[in-house]
């Protein structure tokens, strides 16, 4: 019987393990001798720390360390805030996104096809996070000096708030480090950003995803007209940085809109639309394209415009006329047009770096207001903008993650796209329960946190989609989870135990936690997905959970003995989980394991 390891994965330890298999002499007593490693990997003599190209800032090293350290937190299901908890494959996670990413890291490793994030842009008032690495000015100066002494170049903002960029960079860096691991090999990340940090963000993305995996820096227009900004230029655009996990990735391209292609004359060649028959050249530039043409049916002569001549030479034009590819207007002064059939047109355009369309902030705000009934969230992104990114990068059954979810525009876009193309893309939204100002309209309307707004938006967007199409059968539910400390008490150090607390830890589960809490912590710790199907059965008066049929069977009831083992063995489960102290006696624990080994030798048995 194996004891299930709790808490998120200790990546540093695992990587050290991997390193030691290649360079056994570099790892001593679990610690890496970096100088030796550097020396082994270099063809010159290493003399101390060398500066290298890259962006550095105060707190960068701590961020790397933080991203690699394990976290003793978990996700607790909130069934009453979920929609269609039993069947849905979508997730809404309430909590800090660094913690969320760490907690789901193992379960969703190499699983996410597309990440879209719209982080705070570091405008001076939009950046909230709950890490405690924010240092006071004195600590910061001290640290700068310390690092300067080692010769490492620092990014330093010289204004009075010198930590401004560093704090933001650390916040992004440690999150992106984990996010990359979650992407599938053919996965892609899109990051909304503006001029405040785009240059820094590109540096850290180049470092994390690799310069070669830079796909594009898309530009899109957020407003019309100038604003009253104090700067010289009024910015009316923002960016979306795009990086792939591997350089073999390519975007699908934007599908061409064929809605104006019709077939009113039942042309056997199929649907068509009218197109220009002229080109942007003059008669003197292209004399061979300057000639009159005649409609063979009516005999009407159409003059060529000397400033914009025909697109084809006479012989080709005659061929097109005989094939019925030219449409002649009734008016002799009108311009003949080209009859372009759908079959002649490529179905998609190569993506271009300027995203064209109506994505204006004002309209996105209106879109959201129409859904949730008031001006409750500032600057949501456009559903159509995110849909373009989804269309270019995802297929119908992919998982999409947004860990700065805000009003949950991404969830809305995923549902809309699924409704359009019958897909079953799944979303994972993560949002910190940022408190809403008591004086705001949103608070007066009953919203206490941004999560309340995001959750409500998903519910109402689903209602709207259902109203628009009663036949719609797509997944519009979500399992709602909240980040909390582990359900299991931390085991006391032997020195902490005395006569008074000797029996306190007999049950290692915190008193306010229920069985579903335990089940999901087990699911996470076994690296399984949070959307697996869960059924319960009563067996020998015990409640037994079946996760994805027989993938995992769990029972957290007490007084377990070998009779239960005989019953569970019939299902030939891949994994069985029980509470360590749930056996009637120590003998029952041994007999339980022996019985299962005999009747279902393939089953792994775990205790928590
Ligand atoms: C710019 S908004 C995203 C807006 C979103 N794209 C939309 O269309 O509604 C950024 C969001 O990230 C959230 N946020 C900031 N720090 C966070 C953190 N550490 N964990 C989770 N969410 C965070 C903020 O509360 C805010 O709602």
C-beta separation of 553 from 519 below 8 A: no
User: H or E element: which one contains 17?
Assistant: helix 11-22
Burial of 25 (0-12, 13-18, 19+ CB in 10 A): exposed
Domains, in order of start, for the chain: 71-254+352-482 (3.40.50.150), 272-345 (no CATH), 513-607 (no CATH)
With a 6 Å cutoff on the Cβ, whether 412 touches ligand 1 is no
> Is the pLDDT reported for residue 229 higher than 70?
no
Query: Between 147 and 519, where is the model more confident?
Result: 519
- Tell me the β-bridge partners of 399: 426
With a 6 Å cutoff on the Cβ, whether 517 touches ligand 1 is no
> Is the pLDDT reported for residue 239 higher than 90?
yes
Pull the structure tokens for residue 307: 């400033």
C-beta separation of 326 from 190 below 8 A: no
Q: What pLDDT is stored for residue 52 in this prediction?
A: 61
With a 6 Å cutoff on the Cβ, whether 381 touches ligand 1 is yes
Please say whether the dihedral angle defined by the alpha carbons of residues 342, 345, 349 and 350, taken in this order, is positive or negative: positive
- Tell me the β-bridge partners of 575: 552, 604
With a 6 Å cutoff on the Cβ, whether 122 touches ligand 1 is no
- Number of the ligand 1 atom closest to the C-alpha atom of 407: 9
Cα 559 to middle of ligand 1, angstroms: 46
Cα 119 to middle of ligand 1, angstroms: 6
- Number of the ligand 1 atom closest to the C-alpha atom of 96: 20
φ and ψ at 301, to 5 degrees? -100, 130
With a 6 Å cutoff on the Cβ, whether 364 touches ligand 1 is no
With a 6 Å cutoff on the Cβ, whether 118 touches ligand 1 is yes
CB atoms within 10 A of CB 606: 19
Lowest-confidence segment of 53-67, 294-308, 502-516, 560-574 by average pLDDT: 502-516
φ and ψ at 594, to 5 degrees? -65, -45
Interatomic CA distance for residues 560 and 366, integer angstroms? 58
Cα 252 to middle of ligand 1, angstroms: 28
Interatomic CA distance for residues 138 and 43, integer angstroms? 41
With a 6 Å cutoff on the Cβ, whether 336 touches ligand 1 is no
With a 6 Å cutoff on the Cβ, whether 102 touches ligand 1 is no
> Is the pLDDT reported for residue 287 higher than 90?
yes
Cα 431 to middle of ligand 1, angstroms: 6
For helices 198-209 and 164-182, angle between their N-to-C axes, nearest 10 degrees:
40
> Is the pLDDT reported for residue 272 higher than 50?
yes
Burial of 234 (0-12, 13-18, 19+ CB in 10 A): exposed
Cα 425 to middle of ligand 1, angstroms: 22
- Number of the ligand 1 atom closest to the C-alpha atom of 434: 25
Q: What pLDDT is stored for residue 131 in this prediction?
A: 41
> Is the pLDDT reported for residue 30 higher than 90?
no
With a 6 Å cutoff on the Cβ, whether 96 touches ligand 1 is yes
Report how far apart the first and last C-alpha atoms of the chain are (Å, whole number): 10
Pull the structure tokens for residue 349: 């355009």
C-beta separation of 134 from 163 below 8 A: yes
Pull the structure tokens for residue 557: 């009831």
Cα 15 to middle of ligand 1, angstroms: 31
- Number of the ligand 1 atom closest to the C-alpha atom of 130: 19
Number of H helices, E strands in the chain: 16, 25
Which of the listed residues 104, 116, 120, 375 should we mutate to test ligand 1's pocket, taking the one with most ligand atoms within 8 A of CB? 120
With a 6 Å cutoff on the Cβ, whether 418 touches ligand 1 is no
Alpha helices for 270-350 (secondary structure H): 314-322
User: H or E element: which one contains 589?
Assistant: helix 586-599
C-beta separation of 430 from 95 below 8 A: yes
C-beta separation of 443 from 437 below 8 A: yes
Which of the listed residues 63, 178, 404, 408 should we mutate to test ligand 1's pocket, taking the one with most ligand atoms within 8 A of CB? 404
Nearest C-alpha neighbor of 526 from the set 557, 548, 543, 544: 548
pLDDT in tens, 519-541: 999 999 999 999 999 999 999 99
pTM higher than the cut 0.85? no
**CB-based burial, 565-586: b 16+ in 10 Å, e otherwise:** bbebbebebbbbbbbeebbeee
Pull the structure tokens for residue 461: 């967007």
With a 6 Å cutoff on the Cβ, whether 452 touches ligand 1 is no
pLDDT over 90, % of the chain: 69
Q: What pLDDT is stored for residue 31 in this prediction?
A: 81
C-beta separation of 193 from 121 below 8 A: yes
pLDDT in tens, 126-139: 665 454 334 445 55
Nearest C-alpha neighbor of 309 from the set 278, 349, 288: 278
With a 6 Å cutoff on the Cβ, whether 398 touches ligand 1 is no
């Amino acid at each position: 019987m194996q004891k299930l390891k709790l808490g998120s994965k200790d990546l540093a330890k695992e990587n050290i393990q991997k390193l030691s298999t290649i360079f056994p002499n570099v790892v001593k007593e679990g610690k890496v001798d970096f100088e030796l490693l550097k020396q082994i990997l270099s063809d010159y003599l290493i003399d101390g720390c060398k500066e290298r190209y890259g962006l550095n800032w105060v707190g960068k090293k701590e961020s790397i360390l933080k991203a690699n350290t394990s976290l003793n937190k978990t996700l607790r299901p909130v069934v009453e805030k979920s929609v269609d908890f039993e069947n849905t494959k979508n997730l809404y996670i309430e909590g800090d996104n660094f913690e969320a990413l760490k907690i789901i890291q193992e379960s969703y490793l190499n699983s996410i096809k597309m990440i879209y994030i719209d982080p705070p842009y570091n405008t001076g008032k939009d950046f909230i996070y709950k890490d405690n690495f924010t240092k006071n000015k004195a600590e910061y100066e001290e640290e700068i000096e310390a690092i300067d002494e080692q010769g490492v170049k620092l990014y330093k903002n010289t204004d009075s708030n010198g930590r401004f960029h560093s704090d933001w960079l650390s916040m992004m860096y440690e999150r992106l480090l984990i996010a990359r691991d979650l992407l599938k090999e053919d996965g892609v990340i899109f990051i909304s950003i503006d001029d405040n940090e785009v240059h820094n963000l590109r540096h850290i993305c180049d470092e994390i995803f690799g310069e070669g995996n830079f796909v594009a820096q898309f530009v899109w227009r957020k407003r019309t007209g100038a604003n009253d900004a104090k700067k010289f230029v009024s910015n009316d655009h923002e960016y979306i940085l795009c990086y792939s996990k591997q350089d073999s990735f390519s975007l699908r391209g934007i599908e061409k809109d064929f809605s104006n292609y019709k077939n009113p004359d039942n042309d056997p060649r199929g649907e068509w639309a009218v197109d220009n028959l002229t080109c942007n050249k003059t008669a003197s530039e292209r004399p061979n394209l300057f000639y009159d043409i005649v409609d063979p049916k009516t005999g009407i002569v159409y003059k060529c415009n000397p400033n914009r001549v025909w697109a084809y030479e006479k012989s080709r034009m005659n061929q097109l006329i005989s094939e019925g590819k030219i449409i002649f207007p009734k008016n002799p002064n009108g311009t003949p047009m080209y009859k372009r059939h759908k079959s002649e047109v490529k179905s998609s355009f190569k993506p271009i770096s300027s995203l064209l369309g109506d994505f204006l902030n004002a309209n996105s705000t209106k879109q959201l207001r129409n859904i949730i009934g008031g001006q409750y969230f500032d600057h949501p992104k456009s559903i159509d903008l995110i849909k373009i990114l989804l269309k270019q990068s995802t297929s119908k059954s992919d998982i999409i993650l947004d860990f700065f979810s805000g009003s949950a525009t991404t969830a809305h876009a995923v549902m809309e796209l699924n409704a359009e193309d019958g897909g079953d893309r799944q979303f994972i939204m993560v949002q910190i329960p940022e408190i809403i100002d008591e004086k705001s309209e949103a608070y007066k309307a009953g919203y206490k946190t941004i999560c309340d707004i995001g959750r409500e938006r998903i519910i109402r967007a689903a209602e709207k989609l259902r109203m628009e199409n009663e036949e719609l059968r797509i997944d519009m539910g979500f399992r709602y989870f909240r980040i909390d400390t582990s359900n299991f008490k931390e085991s006391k150090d032997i020195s902490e135990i005395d006569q008074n607390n000797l029996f306190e830890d007999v049950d290692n589960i915190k008193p306010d936690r229920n069985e579903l809490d335990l089940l999901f912590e087990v699911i996470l710790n076994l690296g399984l997905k949070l959307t697996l199907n869960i059924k319960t059965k009563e067996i020998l008066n015990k409640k037994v959970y079946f996760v994805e049929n027989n993938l995992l069977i769990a029972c957290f009831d007490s007084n377990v003995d070998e009779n239960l083992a005989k019953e569970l063995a019939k299902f030939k489960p891949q994994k069985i989980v029980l509470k360590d102290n749930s056996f009637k006696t120590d003998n029952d624990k041994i007999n339980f394991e022996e019985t299962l080994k005999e009747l279902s030798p393939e089953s792994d048995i775990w205790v928590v």
